[in-house]
Structure 1
């Protein structure tokens, strides 16, 4: 074979290689995301749209994410199963909804009397939380990422004032996660209801009380028209939503698109926290001005003491349910102990100093 022939072959191979690389770089990857929320749901739904738009723009159109709301897939609390099965590539929901499927998923939304939002984000990204969440979801073939925080949530809307622990007995309340278990231990009847059914359930006396989020979302839901007692929070100090991704689908993405998606999710999550904080501040002012009949209350100390005692007992029980649950509980407790010292000497001390 002549040198000229060999050079021609090498040149042809180079052209094919370059052509193939260009084709791969231009390939468009399409993902479908199912969210728990209804169409155009404020704040929560904004985060999924923002994430998809950022991923599309940063990838120069190579990563396109279609968002299906609950009105389309008809299963607002079925996101975990749909992503696990590959029916959807991605999901947006809340990890504590899946405690009945895997107790280890319970701890990654928020915990009663637990970390504040900055403390919890620090635990996720610098205190081992992401690694523990990956360990919990790995066996389901799912990757889970923080998906947006509401901040400290309010304790809920009640038809009647809560003065004693006895007032919780038999109370039918929409309250999910670990807080629901605490309320059950104190004699209430907790249930979980999708957001689109909350007002109707309260109006039809299916439930006596409910907690949803806070003024950022509660006011527009109209709960105050039925249940005028609005209690301050204890149960969800740092409610983090989640983005879920089917691992097989993730593994098929090029590394640069994986990183783009990771950045888009993290940015959208932080943006949701900022938006939620802003909306709560605006709506709280509106509430105090336009709806003076709303009675803002704090649970009496005996009730709070009973809730905390039930929380402590249940955490010990849940930690015994699996070695991983114990690891998560221990990790969160250790990090809270360390972080709260700084929170007290920084934020709490600053706020207290303003009152002197």
Structure 2
């Protein structure tokens, strides 16, 4: 007869040999809600893999529930909702979520702050931007967890853009700071909920989009409603971040903090190769959009205007001046280094 002791021993050995199943969510499980700036189709790439990885590893210790653009609160209210604790964490740029910091203007697409996506992690990890962002967000009760690069910023339009004159009067969905910069060239910036953009282009409410590169245009459906893609860009990479409510962050044990940071870094790495490969492949092989270009000599006017814009922003505060100086120092190094860091 099998004794109770022998049964328990055998059962324990069998359990040890069997593969671990996904643990049930216990009552003690830490639960977070995270909202991203991205809609569902885009979040499938820029967010979901990282959070799935976190939830799988954290198991019944912690689970993060994700929400897409404007699901819980409008994107422009993300910062306030996170600061209050309505949302525990956010994936966004500073600009879109209207954070009340001195560095908000540099989030998203600060004109010509980067040439390539690798510029962003270098600026944050080797040139001091991490420390500046950490200090600024600590002042307002938010944890700046991690910064990374997204795609470059190009125009996707219904009508062809072959000169700066073609931009005049175009109603364009773009980021706040990018819109402020582009207005001097006659662009009319328009703010709408992210999920409404495709329909707005179809109905004529928008003439175009300056929000992403071509990978995103195809991924989210914008390539289906725009006809042309301008190869000139106003920035080499979007600067975006993961943030968390400071109290929620401080409540986490150190290993879960480390795990969340690690998954954020994995998210950044995924985007590096996903966007980089997609931007080239879709320009060459994508069937939906015709490429147009503004001549380099004419586009140089935009690049020159960006330097003036940098100085205008730098004059607004000591912190902004410090960030602009870092941009200038970094770009000077890259230009002197030459190929492959900078061309021409």
The CA deviation at 1:159 is: 2.9
Segments of structure 1 that go 5 or more residues without pairing to the other structure are 1-25
Say yes or no: does 1:312 pair with 2:307: yes
The CA deviation at 1:224 is: 4.5
Q: Please give the root-mean-square deviation of Cα atoms over the aligned residues, in Å.
A: 2.6
Match of 2:37 in 1: 36
- CA deviation vs aligned residue, 1:63-96 (integer Å, no higher than 9, x gap): 2111122363142332112111111110112222
- Say if 1:262 and 1:216 are closer, same or farther in 2 by CA, change over 3 A: same
The CA deviation at 1:165 is: 3.4
Residues in 2 aligned to 1:66 and 1:163: alpha-carbon distance in whole angstroms: 44
Q: Is the 8 A contact 1:175 1:211 kept in 2?
A: yes
Larger % of helix: which? 1
Match of 2:128 in 1: 128
The CA deviation at 1:140 is: 1.9
- Say if 1:242 and 1:207 are closer, same or farther in 2 by CA, change over 3 A: same
Which range is displaced more, 98-107 or 120-129?
Answer: 98-107
- Say if 1:47 and 1:62 are closer, same or farther in 2 by CA, change over 3 A: farther
Q: Is the 8 A contact 1:99 1:177 kept in 2?
A: no
Match of 2:209 in 1: 210
Residues in 2 aligned to 1:162 and 1:285: alpha-carbon distance in whole angstroms: 19
Match of 1:21 in 2: none
Match of 1:267 in 2: 266
Match of 2:320 among 319, 325, 346: 325
- Say if 1:94 and 1:256 are closer, same or farther in 2 by CA, change over 3 A: same
Specify the SS of the correspondent of 1:234: strand
The CA deviation at 1:225 is: 4.9
Once the two structures are superposed, the pairs formed by residues 2-13 of structure 1 within 5 Å of their partners are none
Q: TM-score, normalised by structure 2?
A: 0.82
Q: Is the 8 A contact 2:214 2:229 kept in 1?
A: no
The CA deviation at 1:106 is: 2.0
Once the two structures are superposed, the pairs formed by residues 112-123 of structure 1 within 5 Å of their partners are 112-115=111-114, 116-123=116-123
- Say if 1:120 and 1:304 are closer, same or farther in 2 by CA, change over 3 A: same
Specify the SS of the correspondent of 1:96: coil
Q: What is the total number of aligned residue pairs between the two structures?
A: 317
Which range is displaced more, 243-252 or 135-144?
Answer: 135-144
Segments of structure 2 that go 5 or more residues without pairing to the other structure are 1-26
Match of 2:332 in 1: 337
Name the larger-Rg structure.
1
The CA deviation at 1:237 is: 0.5
Specify the SS of the correspondent of 2:96: helix
Say yes or no: does 1:244 pair with 2:239: no
Match of 2:234 in 1: 235
- CA deviation vs aligned residue, 1:251-281 (integer Å, no higher than 9, x gap): 1111221111111111122112222233334
Residues in 1 aligned to 2:164 and 2:69: alpha-carbon distance in whole angstroms: 36
The CA deviation at 1:103 is: 4.8
- Say if 1:175 and 1:128 are closer, same or farther in 2 by CA, change over 3 A: same
- CA deviation vs aligned residue, 1:12-34 (integer Å, no higher than 9, x gap): xxxxxxxxxxxxxx953221111
Match of 1:87 in 2: 86
Say yes or no: does 1:346 pair with 2:340: yes
Q: Is the 8 A contact 1:98 1:106 kept in 2?
A: no
Match of 1:183 in 2: 182
Specify the SS of the correspondent of 2:340: helix
